[in-house]
Structures are given as structure tokens and as C-alpha cells.
A and B are shown apart, each in its own frame.
Chain A
Amino acid sequence: MNPVSAPDELERRLSTLPISLRVSAGDTRAIASLQALRVTAIRPRAHPPQRLAAGLAIAAIAIVAANFAVAYYAPTYGQALAAAPILGGIAQPLLQVTGITQANAVALNGSATSNGHTVQLVAGYADGLRTVILLEIDGRGLTGKPKLFGSHPGDFSIAAGDATLADQFGHVYSQRGGPGPTVLEFEPLVWPASKVGARLTLHITGLQKYWLLGPPPPTTDTALSGDWTLHATMIAAAMHDLALPAPVRTSDGVFSVTLLRFTGSELVIHWTVTGPINDQMDRAQYGSGAPGWNPSLEQLSRRFFGLALFDSSGTPAATTTGSGGEWNPGIFRGETTVMITHPGRYRMQLAEGLTAPADQRSITVP
């Protein structure tokens, strides 16, 4: 009988690792916020008749309400957005990454000072996919070369979890991080603020010393606490669905677009791939005896599971948050969101391997 073997040194060290693990302060905060999440409190959307009834009731109340109240709670009514967008001072690479243009952003005013540092709102943008706020901290964060931001003392950023955004109806929007250290992205405005305009309150409880972040690990505390409260008014850009192009059928599979939703700055594309190519993916993953991601899987994935959009000059439209999707038996469902910087006709290539002219599709973005 084989006696119970003693673990070797590595097994022993691995087994004791959980006991001595320390989680960084930022991660601890993120975990705490996750543990506070109340998933079960999220209610499904009301059915259309209920929403209609609720809308009618609110409309009736709005009619008898005083004008100042309407103007406050419905910024579109009060035409509070008379200010022209001003994005001239913001670094162009930052605007490209953010997907915000002169045409779709709104200039914001308002600043707050706490703990010796001033946070100033500069611009914002809202649509059915996201709410974006661009701000400066002590006059820095949006101008100059973005690559250099963070290399000088005094370059502050705002970490996820340090900012909360609420509308005039009390709805609190979750922060999704953001494409830049001083660009905050939140979930999209919800009804009724999405319809009547949102008077938003941004509350910031801490700044991060951005120049101290990253390797080597900072030896001093990188957080700076404070209390900054700022107000902004924004109206969500309307979304509408565009006509779908015809599927592309090849011997490898059928490539179809199932949704084209335009927000005013972004185009959301849902697409599917069905047919033999999915079996090839399965074989590549499981057939070689080495399951998992491997070069042939990578090659197939690149060749058949990546949609791209090109404008009339042949320039690819940039994705905002990358693209993704998931395989289910026999079908791949993909989702890509691209930035649209100008209206016009775009060529859609449903996969990198679909290069034949007959396999190209065109769409018109208004």
C-alpha cells in the first residue's frame, strides 16, 4: 500500500499562499463595492402599458406643476443647454479614444475645490449606451499630450469607485471606469431623465496621485480624499436602428448582421456566424488533444470572427470598447461598437477572411 506522500516544497507554498495573501487598497475597495451590490433589487423593466400609464400620469402632473419645477426637472423644456459645445482645448487623441466630437458633446461648467484641489467639469456626452464626463483636476487632464499625463507630480486621476453620479430623480449611475484618467464613463441615462434631460450631480470622494501609480509599487499612499460636488445638465442623444444588410453566405458559414443601432456617435453592431466554421473552431479547440486557446484557434478567430467597418476613404472605423462575442453550439454571437465620426456610406466586412467584392456589404449612417 502506498503511504500518503508529503507535499513537496512548491505544493506546500501554494497551499499556504491564501493565508498570507494581501489585496491592494484599490482592489479591496472594488471588492467592497461588489459585495454591496444588490442584484436582486434590480427590477425588470415595466411592460409598455405600464410605462405608458406611468408616462401619462407624470405628464399630467407636469402640466399642473409650476414652470420653475418643470424647467428644473426637464432641462429640455427649460432649454438649459443653450451653451455651445467647446472642445477646442481638449487633446485630439483623447477625443478620438472617447468617441466624442464637437457635434455631439456639450460644454459643462462648474467646479469644486476640496483639500486644496479643484475639479472642473469641461464637457459631457450622453446616449443610450453611456454617459461620459470629461473633467480637469487643477487645470490638468485633458490638454497636452495624453501619453505624458501621469509622468509629472500633480497629475491626479479619479479611480473607479471614487465618483458617483445621480440624476434629479435620484437614480444613481454606476461608473464603468473610463478611457482616460480624467474621463469618467457611467451607464446610460435611464427614464425619465433619458427623456426629459438629466440634471446630474457628480460626487467625488477621492483623487488618485496618478504619477505614483504603476510599477514600481508606490511606497506612499496614492489616494487623496476630499469632497467635490459638481452639477451638470445633459440630454441623451436619440438612438435609432438602421436597415440590416443581407447576410454573406460562403462555404465556411453564414455571416449575418442582426442589429445596427446608431446612437449619434456610435454604431452598435450585433452579428452572428453559423455553419461549418463553428465546427472547425470546435475541432481546433478540442481535436488536437491540447484543448484551449492555441495558434490555429487564434488564426481561425482572426479570419472569421471579426467584423470591421470602413468609411468611403477606406479608413476603418475605430471601436470604442473593443468587440467581443461568445460561442454557443453551432453559432457565434458577436457584438462590436464602432465610433462614427461623420455620416455617409460605410463598407462592412463581416470577417477578415471575407475579402471578395461580392462579400462586402454597405450601410448608410445618417
Chain B
Amino acid sequence: MVTSEHVEPSSDQRQLDNARDFEAAYRDVSRSAYLLARQIGRRPDEARDIVQEAALRAWRYRTSRTGDFRPWFLTIVYRLCRRPILDWVPLPAGWDRPITGGVDSAMDPDLVRALQSLPTRQRAAVWLRYCEDLAISDVARIMRVRESAAKQLLFRGREALRRRLQITPTEEYR
């Protein structure tokens, strides 16, 4: 009789294998993923394609996930967004509309405008940290940088926002 060694998957992995759980986790993060892609500068159709592709990849490689679903999925989205794209065919000017983040704030429109003026990586870091309420370690993981680099990006982003919004930092934030 031939026997094969079978390793029981962890309870976490069993949970991921469950399609319903996967889809629930995906639904929870899809809005964040889409808005992240938009913040990185992708157009609405591109952002939608990226999140769809990320969803397919996540489903396909779900057993290789480590850590929470949310930062893991956002990592895939961020990576897809940052793929080098060489647009060798310039589109007619009328079709190349300036990219906006697709968000606004009734309470603080100046902050949204200032946020959109940041360089892409700083904007992504600030967005993930404050709008998605992620830990710095998760921001670093998503952006594939060291934590010190994520902190530096956040620091620079905040400094740029302060300059733009003409906010004087308190002593402890200098």
C-alpha cells in the first residue's frame, strides 16, 4: 500500500482556501485597492484593470500569503501599479486628461489638493498611513521598502504638505 505524507494546512490557510472567505476579504479591500491605484496616478479604467488582475493573482497564489490579507493584497496592487510602463505611442492631447485622485473632501478640500501635489511615492505612503490607517510596517511592506525608508517618505510627505498648507509644525514634530 502506498502512502503519502500529507501535511495538514494551518487553520489560517484553510480559511483562505475557502472561496467565500476570500471573496469577503477581497470585497473589504477592493475599495482601498482601487483608491490606492488612483492615488498612484492610474486612470479609472487602468485602476479597475489593476485591481481585477490583482484579485486574480491573489486568488491564484492565495496559499503563499503571509500576514494579513489587506496589506498583502495592497502589496500586489501597488506592485502592479508601479510596473514600468513605457508609453512610446503618445495619445492625442485631448485624450490624455490630467489625472486626479478621484476623491474630494467637503471638510478639507485644500488638504486633498495638497495631497495630490505630492510626488507619487510620498502620496502613496501618506495615503496608506492616514487614509487607510495602516501601520508603518505595512506601508513599508506594500511599498517594498525598509521601514526607515517608509518613515522618511512619510516625513517628507508631511513636510511638503505643511509647506503647501502653510502649517507651522509644533516643536516636537520638527
**CB within 8 Å of B: which residues of A?**
5-6, 8-11, 13-24, 26-27, 30-31, 33-35, 37-40, 42, 93, 96-97, 145-151, 159-161, 174-181, 213-215, 217, 290-293, 301, 305-306, 316, 318-320, 322-326
Given known pairs A23-B102, A40-B23, the reply for A35 and B89 (CB within 8 Å) is no
Looking at chain A's contact residues, is the secondary structure mostly helix, strand, loop, or mixed? mixed
Number of interface residues of B (CB under 8 A): 70
Chain B residues near A11 (CB-CB < 8 A)? 158, 173
Given known pairs A8-B169, A30-B44, A40-B22, the reply for A326 and B94 (CB within 8 Å) is no
Instruction: Report yes or no: B93 in contact with A147, Cβ–Cβ below 8 A.
Output: yes
User: 1/0 contact trace for B48-78 toward A, CB 8 Å?
Assistant: 1101100110110000000000000000000
A198 to B79, CA, bound (A): 35
12 further contact pairs, Cβ within 8 A, besides A30-B48, A146-B95, A323-B85? A14-B158, A18-B131, A18-B132, A24-B104, A38-B23, A174-B52, A181-B95, A305-B84, A323-B88, A324-B84, A324-B85, A326-B79
Which residue from chain B places its CB closest to the CB of A20 in the assembled complex?
B107
**CB within 8 Å of A: which residues of B?**
19, 22-23, 26-27, 30-31, 33-35, 38, 43-49, 51-52, 55-56, 58-59, 79, 83-89, 91-95, 97-98, 100, 102-108, 111-112, 121, 126, 130-133, 143, 145-146, 149, 152-153, 158, 161-162, 165, 167, 169-170, 172-173
Instruction: Report yes or no: B94 in contact with A148, Cβ–Cβ below 8 A.
Output: yes
**Residue of B38, B51, B102, B167 with highest tally of chain A CB at under 10 A:** B102
Chain B residues near A290 (CB-CB < 8 A)? 149, 152
Question: In whole Å, how far is B172's beta carbon from the nearest beta carbon of chain A?
Answer: 5
> Which residue of B30, B84, B97 is within 8 Å of A214 (Cβ)?
B97
A318 to B165, CA, bound (A): 43
Instruction: Report yes or no: A24 in contact with B95, Cβ–Cβ below 8 A.
Output: no
> Which residue of A97, A150, A305, A325 is within 8 Å of B89 (Cβ)?
A97
Given known pairs A14-B130, A24-B103, the reply for A177 and B52 (CB within 8 Å) is no
Instruction: Report yes or no: A39 in contact with B27, Cβ–Cβ below 8 A.
Output: no
Which residue from chain B places its CB closest to the CB of A91 in the assembled complex?
B92
Return the 7 tightest CB-CB contacts between A and B, nearest first: A177-B45, A40-B19, A20-B107, A14-B130, A27-B102, A324-B83, A160-B45
Question: In whole Å, how far is A71's beta carbon from the nearest beta carbon of chain B?
Answer: 35
Given known pairs A10-B158, A39-B23, A147-B93, the reply for A27 and B169 (CB within 8 Å) is no
